[in-house]
Structure 1
Amino acid sequence: MSKGVRDRGSAPEPARWLRIVVPAVLVLIWLTLAGIGGPTFGKLSGVSSNDQAAFLPASAESTEVQEWQKRFTDSGSIPAIVVVEAEQTIPKSELATTYAELGTKLGAVDGVQAPADGASTSVAGPIPSEDGRAVEYIVPIVDSNEVKTVVADLRAVVTDEAPEGTRAWVTGPAGLTADLVSAFGGIDGILLLVAVAAVFVILLLVYRALLLPFLVLLTSVFALCAAILLVYLFALWGWITLSGQSQGILSILVIGAATDYSLLLVARYREALEQQSSRWVAIVRAWKAAFEPILASGVTVILALLCLLFSDLNSNKSLGPIAAIGIVFSLLSALTFLPALLAVFGRAAFWPFRPVVGGRPLKHAEGEAPVGLEGVHGLWRRIGGLIGRRPRVTWIVSFVLLAACALGLTQLKANGVQQTDVVLTQSDAVNGQAIVAKHFDAGSGSPVLIVAPEAQGDAVLAAAKRTDGIASAAFYTGGGRPQPGVVADPVVKDGRVLIQATLASEPGSAKAEAVVKDLRGSLSSDGSVLVGGVTAIALDTNETAQSDLAKIIPIVLGVILVILMLLLRSILAPVLLIGSVVLSYAAALGISALVFDNVFGFPGADAAVPLFGFVFLVALGVDYNIFLMTRVREESLRIGTRPGILRGLGLTGSVITSAGVVLAATFAALAVIPILFLVQIAFIVAFGVLLDTVIVRTLLVPAASYDIGRAIWWPSKLWRDRQREARAEVSS
C-alpha cells in the first residue's frame, strides 16, 4: 500500500516548535493544578457541613425558629443525650452522689457549654426514668465544628465513669451528627480509591493496553484535583455550602465524566492512527472530530446541574455549582491534558496492541446485512442487522420493557427517613436512641420549639399540652430544660416566649412530623406562632425537596431540549432523545424502588433522591445519545439516514458501552460510604446508566430513528434535501 493510500486525507504536521511547546505547556499547567489541588483534598472536611438545618431556605418556618432560639439561649449549642441504663432499679440515694458526679464530669469535657453564673454545670440531669432503670443527661455542645471530637470525649467519659452494672450511650442530635460525620469519613480516601481501582480494571479490559489506562486515569484525577481546589476556595470564602454528600458526588462525577470524555477521544485517536502515519496529524484530526460531541455533552451536563440553583433547598442549590465545576474541569482535562499526553506517547500508548496504518482487518459476517454495516463485525453487526430488519418490533419491545419497569415507581417511598436510619452501619447514637425511647418519652432531648407572642404564651402552652403526641410542654426559663417542681418566669425576647414541647414519638418519625403539622395548623392562623425544632427541620426539608422536584424537572428538560435542537439542527430527534431518557429514568427508579423495599429492606428514601437521580440520569443519559446521534448525523451526511444510523451505532457501540460501564462503576463506588442517601443514589444511577446504555442507546433510540427514517432530522436541511439523501443511499 502506497503512502498516498495509507494517509487518507493527510495534512501537514504542525511545526516542530508547536509539537514541543504546546504539549509541554499543557502538561506543566495541569501538573501545577494537581500539585496545588491534590493536598487540598484532605482539607475539604474542614469547610464541609452536614447540619441539615443549614440546607433549609431562610423563609422556612423551622429556620425562623432556629434564629429565635439563638436569641433565647445566646448560643448555638447542639444537645447530646447521655442515657445510662442499669441492670437493676437505681437507688434514689445514688442519684445525688454517683450519678450527679457523672453529670459534673460530662460538663467538664472541652466543647461543652460553660455553666451559667452560680451553676456548677450546664448539664441537665441526672433525670431518672419512671421505671427507675435509667437516667439521662442533656449535654449542650457549643463547639459545633468539633461535634465528632466532643461526642467521642463524652463517650470516653461514660465508658470510664459509668457506675458498675450499667451501660451508657451518647445519642440525641449531637450523637447522631457525630456518627454521620464518622460515616462520611471514608469520602476523603476510601471512596476515591475504590472508584479509581474499578475504573482502572475496566480500562485494562477495554483497551488491553498497559499505558493507556494510566493516561486516562491521570486525566481524571488531575481534573478532580483542579476542581477540588476551586470548590475548596469557594467554600472557604462562603460562596457555596459544601456537604459530605456533595463532596462524594463531586469525586465520583469527575472521575466518571472525565473518563467518558477520554474514551470518546481515544476511540477517535485510534481511528485516526489507522489512517495517518503521523501521530500529530492523527491527534489533531481526532480532537476536531471529538470536540463537538464532548463539548455538547459537557455543556448539557453543566447546564442541567446549574438548574439546581433554582432549588429552594440549599443542599440541592449548592450541589449545582459544585458538580458543574467538576464537569468544567473534566471537559478541560479531556480536551487539553489528554491530547497532549496522547500526542507525546503516540502509538506506544496502545502497547502491546498498537494501531497500524491501514487499520485492523475487516471481518465480515456470513450473509447479507443492511447497508451501513460494512466493516462492522461481531455483536454490533448483529444488533445493527436486527434493527435493520425489524426496527419497529425492536423499539416497541424495548419501550414496553422500560414501561413495565417504570410501574415500580408506585412503590417508591421518598418522603424522608428518620435520622436514626441515615447511617447504615453500627451506630452508638442509634442504639442509644432506642434506649431513650424504652425508658423515657421518645422525643426527649429533641423538643418541638414553639415561638409565640408573650400575650398569647399561656394559651399556646395550653393548646400544645392538649395536642395528641405531645408528652409534656413548658416555657423556656433559662435553664436549658424545664426542671420538675421548679416554677420560674419564662424568658422573654423581643416580646416573644419560647415553649419546649416533648414528643411522645421519635423526633424523625412520621408520627412526630404529623404532630408538628397539627401544631402549625392549630396554634396560629396568622403566622404569629412559629413551630420548629429537629422534627420541623426534617419536615420542612422533605416538603422543600418535593417542591424542588416538581419545579426543577421541567427546567432541566427544557434546557437539554434546546441544546439538543441546536446540536442536531432538528426538533424531532431531540424530542425522541428526551423522551427516551425520561422513560429510562422512570424505569430505573421503578426497579430501584422494588429493590430498596424487597431486597435491601430500606425504611424509605430521602426526599432529594428522585431529584438527584433525575438530574444525573437525564443529563448523563443524554450524554450517550449525544455521542451516538452526532456520529449518526455525520454518517448520514455521507451515506444517508438509515445506513448512517446503523453505521453510527456500529462505530460508537463499543466505546459508548465502555463509557456506560465506567460511569456505572464509579457511581456504584458511592455505596462504600454507609449513608442511606449515597447508597440509594449509587444504585439508581449505576443501574440507570447501564439500562440506558444497554437498552435505550443500543436498541430503542436507533430502532425508533431507523423506523422514522429521514424525518428524524425534521425540519433541518438534512431532512429537506431529498435528492442528496437519495444519492448518498445509492452510492453507499
Structure 2
Amino acid sequence: MPRASRRTRFLVPLALLLVWLAVGGGLGPFAGRLGEVSTNDQAAFLPRSAESTKVIEAQKAFRTSESVPAIVVWTAEDGGTLDPGSAAGATKALAALSGRPGIAGPPSPALASEDGKALRAVVPLRPDLGDALPDALDEVRKAAAPVPGTTVWLAGPAATQADLSGAFAGIDGLLLGVALVTVLLILLVVYRSVLLPLMIILGAVFALGLACAIVYVLADADLVRVDGQVQGILSILVIGAATDYALLLAARYREELTAPGADRFAAMRKALRRSVEPIVASAATVALALIALLASDLSNNRALGPVGAIGIVCAVLSALTFLPAALVLTGRAAYWPARPKTLPEGAEPEAPRGGQALWTRIAAVVDRAPRKVWAITLAGLLACAAFAPMLNSRGVPLDEIFVNDAPSVAAQETLGRHFPGGAGNPAVIVADAGAATRVAAAAREVEGVDSAFPVDATGRPAPGKPLVVDGRVRIDATLADAADSDAARETIARLRTAVHAVPGADALVGGSTAQQYDTQRTAARDRTLIVPVVLAIILVILVALLRSLVLPLLLVATVALNFAATLGVSALVFEHVLGFTGTDSSVPLYGFVFLVALGVDYNIFLMSRVREESLRHGVREGVRIGLTATGGVITSAGVVLAATFAALGVIPLAFLVQIAFIVAFGVLLDTLVVRSLLVPALVRDLGPKAWWPGALSRLPAEGAAAPDKS
C-alpha cells in the first residue's frame, strides 16, 4: 500500500482520539459538579400516589413558613434528675435564637420527660440551608449549652439530614479515586501491561465525564433527580461497565493480532466485527433494565433509571470508539511488555500457558463430566438460595442507617429513652375541621398512639382551638414506639383504619413513619411489576442475539438463581457478620436489576463466542473453545466490576454498603460459578437441543459445524 494511503488510515482513529480528549478536557469537571444539582431531601423521593405524599402537600397550608425541625434534648450530666428550673432555663436559652439566620420560627418551650431526667424542645430551621445546615445546628447547640449541669443532644430530621450530607461529602473525589485505583491495580496485575490499563481507565473516565455532563444538564433543567445514592451508583456503574466492555474488545483485538498476516487495522476491523454485537447486546440489557425502573412509583427508583441508562450508553460509546482508536494508534505497543506476535502462515497456535492453561483444564472437566458439574453447582446454588427468605427488607432502623457512629443517631436514642418513641416525629393527620374532635378521639383510641391533638395557631399540638385552613385541620399523633420501628409502622396501619372510618372526616395520615410504611408497600408492588418486565427485556435480547429459544430461557433461569443465592448469602452476612437487622426496601430491587442485567452480560460474552465457534467446529467443540477463549477475560472483567461496586462501601451508609456487597458477591458468584461451570455444563449436556430452533439445533449430538449464516 502506498505511504500516503497508510497515513490516511490513521486519520479516523486520530480524529476520534482528539474528540474524546476534548470531551475529557471540557466535560470531565462535571464528574465533580453533580453535587450542585443533587438533593438529599428524602421527601423528594417518596411514592407519588401514596397517602403520606398527599399529606406533605396538605401540610404546607398549615405552616407560616417551611421548616425542618431540629429536636434539642438535654440530659443531666450525672444521669440523675434535672433541677426544677432547668425547663425554664432551656426555654429562655433557645428563645434567643428567634430571628437569627437559618431559624424559620420561634423555638417551642422545653418540656420535661416523665422521669424528670430529660428535656426536649423543637427548633424550626429553614429547609433551604444546604451546606449551611451544619452551621445552623452549631448555633442551636451553642444556644442550648448554657443550661447548667446538662448535656445537649441534637436529634430529629435536621440532624439526620446534616449527618447524611456529611456522609456524602466528598463523594465525587473519594469514590472515584477508590474505584479507579482499584481497577488500575487489578488490570496491572492481571494483564502485566503498562499502557493498556491506562488506556482503559482513561476511556472509563471520559465516559463518566460525558455521562455526568448530560445528567448535570438534565438535573439542572429538573428533568431528572439526583441524590447522593444515585450519584455514587452512576460513578461505579460507568467505571465498571466501560472497563468490562473495553476488556472484551482489547482481548479480542490481541487475539486477532496473532493471526497470520494480520496488521493492526485488519485485526481491529475483525475484532470490532466479532465484539460489537455482544457488547451492544450487553449494554442494551443493562440500559433497558434500568429504564424499566421508570415503572416504579418510588421517585428514587425512577431517578436511577434514566441516569444509569445514560451512563451505560456513554460507557459503550467510549469502549467502541475511544479504545479502538487508541489501540490502532498504539498497535502492539499497547500490550508491552507482552506484545502479541503474529504467527507465520500455517503455524499452529502456541500451547496454552498461565491463565489460558487453567481455562483449558476447566473446559476439559466440563466437557468430560458435564452432568456431574452442573448437578454439584446447582445443588450449591439452591442451598444458598434457601436462605433468601431470611432477608428482611422492611427498612433500616435509624440506628443502622449510618455504618459508623453518627451524632443524630445517638441523640435519637437518648430521646427515645426518656420520651415516647415517636416524640418529635409525630404521625400527621389532616382532616375536615368539622370532624376534628372525633378524629382526634379516634386516633387516641388506637393501640400504639400515645397522644393526639390538633395543631393550634402557634403551630403546636394542644387541646385548645385548632388552626383551620380551607376547612381542614392538622392533628399530630405521637406514637408510643420509635418512629422507625416495625411496631410504629403497624400502628400507622391501625391509625389509618380508625380515622378513615370517621364519617365526613376525609382523613389522611402521613408523617415520617407513614412515609416508611408507604415506601415499603410501594417497593413490594414495584418488585412484582418490574421483575417480570426486566426478565422479559433480557429474554427478548437473548433470543435476538443467540437465535434460540431454549438457551435464552436457560440463561435467564441461571441468573435468577444466582440472584436468589446471593440474597441467601447476603441475609446471613448482613445479620451475623455486619450486624444489620434489615435492609432498605429498595435493596432487593436494585440488587435484582444490577445482578440479573450484569450477570446476563457475562453469559452473553460467553455464549456469543460459543455460538461463533459452534458454527465452525460443532456444538461440543464450540463450548470447549468458547469457554477456554473467554474464561480469562470474563473472569477479570467480573473481578473488576465486583471491585468497583465494592468501592461503594467507602460511603458509611447501610444502603450503599448492602448494595455493594450484594452486587460484588453476586458478580463474583456469577463469574466464577454460574458462567464458568453451570452454564457451559448445561449447554454441553443438552448439546444441539440447547440451540433450538436455530441452525445449531439441527446438528447431530457430536455434530460437525453448521454453515455460518450469521
Fold equivalence (TM over 0.5): yes
Deviation at 1:24, TM superposition (A): 2.6
Q: Report Cα offsets for 1:107-166 as digits up to 9, x if no partner.
A: 4542220x4xxxxxx1112222233332222011223352x5324432354257343422
SS of residue paired to 1:203:
helix
Post-superposition offset of 1:175: 0.8
SS at match of 1:204: helix
- Alignment of 1:320 with 2:310, yes or no, is no
- Against the structure 1 CA distance between its residues 715 and 102, is the aligned structure 2 distance closer, same or farther, given a 3 Å change threshold? same
Give the Cα separation in 1 of the matches to 2:59 and 2:406.
29
Q: Establish whether residue 242 from structure 1 lines up as the match of residue 226 from structure 2.
A: yes
CA distance in 2, matches of 1:728, 1:556: 32
Give the Cα separation in 2 of the matches to 1:83 and 1:14.
80
1:727 offset after TM fit, Å?
A: 5.8
1:441 is displaced (CA, Å) by 1.9
**CA distance in structure 2 between the partners assigned to 1:382 and 1:106 by the alignment:** 74
Q: 1:423 aligns with which of 379, 402, 410?
A: 402
* Distance across 2 between alignment mates of 1:141 and 1:289: 60
Structure 2 CA distance, aligned partners of 1:290 and 1:533?
52
- Residues 481 and 629 of structure 1: CA distance in aligned 2, closer, same or farther (over 3 Å): same
Distance 1:579 1:189, change over 3 A: same
Of 663-672 and 73-82, deviating more is 73-82
**Residues 395, 704 of structure 1: 8 Å contact kept:** yes
CA separation of 1:311/1:108 partners in 2, compared to 1, >3 Å: closer, same or farther? same
Aligned to 1:705: 683
Rounded to whole Å, the distance in 1 between the matches of 2:185 and 2:318 is 21
Is 1:208 paired with 2:192? yes
Describe the shift of the 1:258–1:727 C-alpha distance in structure 2 as closer, same or farther (beyond 3 A).
closer
1:410 match: secondary structure:
helix
Whole-angstrom distance in 2 between the partners of 1:13 and 1:251: 43
Q: Which moved more, 1:570-579 or 1:345-354?
A: 345-354
1:226 aligns with 2:210: yes
Could you say what secondary structure the match of 2:124 adopts?
Answer: strand
What is the one-letter code of the residue matched to 1:678? L
How far has the Cα of 1:376 moved from its partner?
9.7
Deviations 1:16-54 (A, max 9, x none): 454333123212222222223322223212221222222
Partner of 1:149: 132
Aligned match for 1:76, one of 66, 88, 97:
66
How far apart, CA to CA, are the structure 1 residues paired with 2:430 and 2:355? Answer: 72
Mapped pair 1:292 → 2:284: no
Per-residue deviation, 1:672: 0.7
**Contact 1:584–1:688 (8 Å) recurs in 2:** yes
Contact 2:243 2:637 in 1 (8 A): yes
What is the CA-CA distance between 1:354 and the residue it aligns to?
Answer: 1.0
Deviation at residue 361 of structure 1 after TM alignment: 6.1
Q: Which residue of 2 aligns with 1:446?
A: 425
Partner of 1:187: 171
- Seen in structure 2, the aligned counterparts of structure 1 residues 270 and 403 have a Cα distance that, compared at 3 Å, is same
Q: 1:715, 1:603 → 2: CA distance?
A: 48
Look up the SS of the partner of 2:72 in the other structure. strand
The answer for the alignment partner of 1:128 in structure 2 is 112
Deviations 1:479-519 (CA, angstroms, capped at 9, x unpaired): 12235xxx642111222111011112111111111111101
Match of 1:589 among 536, 553, 567: 567
Counterpart of 2:72, as a letter, is V
2:497 equivalent in structure 1: 521
Residue deviations 1:647-679 (CA, integer Å, cap 9, x gap): 000000000000000000001111111111110
Shift of 1:713: 1.1
Alignment of 1:104-143 (within 5 A): 104-113=95-104, 115=105, 122-143=106-127
Give the 5 Å matches for 1:30-49: 30-49=20-39
Residue 100 and residue 699 in structure 1: after superposition, are their counterparts in 2 closer, same or farther (change >3 A)? same
When the two structures are superposed, what TM-score results if normalisation uses the length of structure 2? 0.94
Q: Give the TM-score normalised by structure 1.
A: 0.92
Change (3 A) 1:316 1:645: same
**What amino acid does structure 2 have at the position aligned with 1:395?**
W
Question: Aligned residue for 1:350?
Answer: 335
TM-superposed CA distance for 1:643, in Å, is 0.6
- Counting only pairs closer than 5 Å after superposition, residues 521-560 of structure 1 correspond to structure 2 as 521-525=497-501, 528-560=506-538
Contact 1:308 1:319 in 2 (8 A): yes
Per-residue displacement from partner, 1:71-121 (whole Å, max 9, x unpaired)? 11143311110112123533333543x4234202444542220x4xxxxxx
Q: Which amino acid aligns with 1:209?
A: S
Query: Take 1:376 and 1:123, find their aligned partners in 2: how far apart are those partners?
Result: 68
Residue 363 of structure 1: aligned partner: 351
User: Of residues 154, 157, 167 in structure 2, which corresponds to 1:173?
Assistant: 157
Q: Within the alignment, does 1:562 sit opposite 2:540 as a pair?
A: yes
Residue 168 of structure 1 and its aligned partner are, at CA, apart by 0.9
Structure 2: distance between partners of 1:18 and 1:607: 57
Please report how far the alpha carbon of residue 13 of structure 1 lies from its aligned counterpart in structure 2 after TM superposition. 11
Contact 1:162 1:168 (8 Å CA) reproduced: no
Query: Any unmatched runs of 5+ in structure 1?
Result: 1-10, 116-121, 366-374
- The superposition leaves residues 370-398 of structure 1 with CA deviations (integer Å, 9 ceiling, x where unpaired) of xxxxx995211211111111111111111
| From 81, 85, 100, the counterpart of 2:91 | 100
Q: Distance in 2 between matches of 1:592 and 1:688?
A: 9
- Measured in 1, the distance between the counterparts of 2:568 and 2:146 equals 49
Range moving further from structure 2, 283-292 or 584-593: 283-292
Partner of 1:652: 630
> What RMSD over aligned residues (CA atoms) do the two structures have, in Å?
2.2
Give the partner amino acid of 2:35: S
Counterpart contact for 1:454–1:496, Cα < 8 Å: yes
2:533, 2:83 → 1: CA distance?
A: 64
| In 2: Cα distance, 1:227 partner to 1:64 partner | 34
Aligned residues: percent identity? 50
Match of 1:608 in 2: 586
What is the deviation of 1:608?
Answer: 0.7
* Structure 2 residue aligned with 1:7: none
Secondary structure of the 1:144 match is: coil
C-alpha distance in structure 2 between counterparts of 1:579 and 1:472, whole Å: 52
1:449 deviates by 0.4
Residue 475 of structure 2 is aligned with which of 499, 506, 527? 499
| Residue range with higher mean Cα deviation, 389-398 or 152-161 | 152-161
